[in-house]
Amino acid sequence: MIMLASNNVTIPPENIDVIIDHLHADPATLRACSLVSRGWVSSSRYHLFSSVTLDNWNGPSFLALLQSPSGPDIGALVQHLSLHTEKALDWFIKSIPVLSSHLQPTALTFDISNYTDPDDFEDDDEYEYGYRENRRRVRKDASVFLNCFPTVTTLHLSIYCDTFLEAAELISSFRSLKKLSLGLLWTQESDTAISPRHLVLPGSIEALSIPSDGESHFIRWLLCHTNPPHPSKLTLDFHVAQAEPVAACLRELGGSLETLSLKSSYGFTEHVTLVHQSNLRSLSIHVWKNAPHIVWRLLSQLSSVSLEEVDFWAWYPTEEPDARDSWSKLDALLSDPQFAGLRRIIIHVNAEHRATIEAELLPQAHTRNVLCFKNQHGSIY
């Protein structure tokens, strides 16, 4: 029991936890709760420090907190750590040894860049939109971050660098990775640069997300592995010009994939197929045009009988050549016994009235009561 001395109110500990859990997204109130009594400190700190974001504004104060008497207790609470080095790369380089010694996060969001104030440069042409990025410094200093947190199993990385080698060195240094998501992978190398064959991705990766910026470098690196990881979940955003490497990637990963998300704003070429995906359970297709035809083509190649969910964009359902024919073929295919296990077909629409149109275009799927629609705000109906 916790007794509040001011008015002799006694609150059971389990009720305190419920109260503080309810305030998990309110840092100001959580800080106030931590001052109520010693019994409130532990739960308040758990929510305050389980997820920490450090940047050029709050990094120094958090570092000072870690070095205080309560630092070890606070550091042990941090599970998700976000580091944003913009305009603070030098500080992070100096501070990473201390951060590494105090923190053992399992999830790391890492944005490595070095933007500096334009007043530091005399030549106006050296910066754009108010800031200039010193990529050469990033190249020189990125090595200090190698395996900086060995406990990390989930990594979301955005990095600006001269060569893909720097990014590959950093990624491969986290040997316990299970989830890898690349936000932005910007290099000054051409798409034909030699892949770093001596560096190996962790074989434990279960979920992989590859962006359209840098996808060619990463896919070629993945394919040059003797024993590449075989994640069960893949999210791939690619340019149509990279269709052949993407097809090779899908062929290599084959039956290991259970969840697949493909995004290409300008459509897919015939190179991209799903003939090797024998265990797929969830498929998401994001294209702006010809969506029903592309979804029909990919599903007609699929050998998996385990598909439970299909998710695709159809913002212009009847305004494209042969659109109604594509919808009819897709509706017939979805009624095939191979897809009897489908529980949801999610169609993204740009206005609610589109749902009526698409329900008419997929009458058999509509009759099975598996159709649902999501608008641009994310609402499902």
pLDDT tens track, the chain, 381 positions = 444 555 566 777 666 666 666 666 667 766 776 667 676 777 777 777 889 999 989 999 999 999 999 899 999 999 999 999 988 888 999 999 999 999 999 999 999 876 554 444 444 444 444 444 555 555 556 678 998 999 999 999 998 877 888 889 999 999 999 999 998 777 766 655 667 778 999 999 999 999 877 778 889 899 999 899 999 999 999 888 888 889 999 999 988 999 999 998 777 878 899 999 999 999 999 988 888 889 999 999 998 889 999 999 887 666 666 778 889 999 999 999 999 999 999 988 876 666 677 778 889 888 888 888 887 776 666
113: burial class by Cβ within 10 Å (0-12, 13-18, 19+)? buried
- Cα 133 to Cα 128, 138, 188, 349: the distances in Å are 9, 9, 13, 38
CA angle 184, 187, 193 (to 5 degrees): 125
Coil, strand or helix at 299: helix
pLDDT score of 8: 60
pLDDT score of 284: 95
User: What distance separates the 2 farthest-apart alpha carbons in the chain?
Assistant: 76
User: Quick one: tokens of 33?
Assistant: 């709760």
Q: How far apart are CA 129 and CA 143, in angstroms?
A: 28
Between helices 164-173 and 215-223, what is the axis angle to 10°? 60
pLDDT score of 298: 94
CB 296: neighbour CB atoms within 10 A? 21
pLDDT score of 303: 86
Q: How far apart are CA 111 and CA 159, in angstroms?
A: 6
Coil, strand or helix at 105: coil
User: Quick one: tokens of 276?
Assistant: 């090797």
pLDDT score of 230: 94
pLDDT score of 112: 87
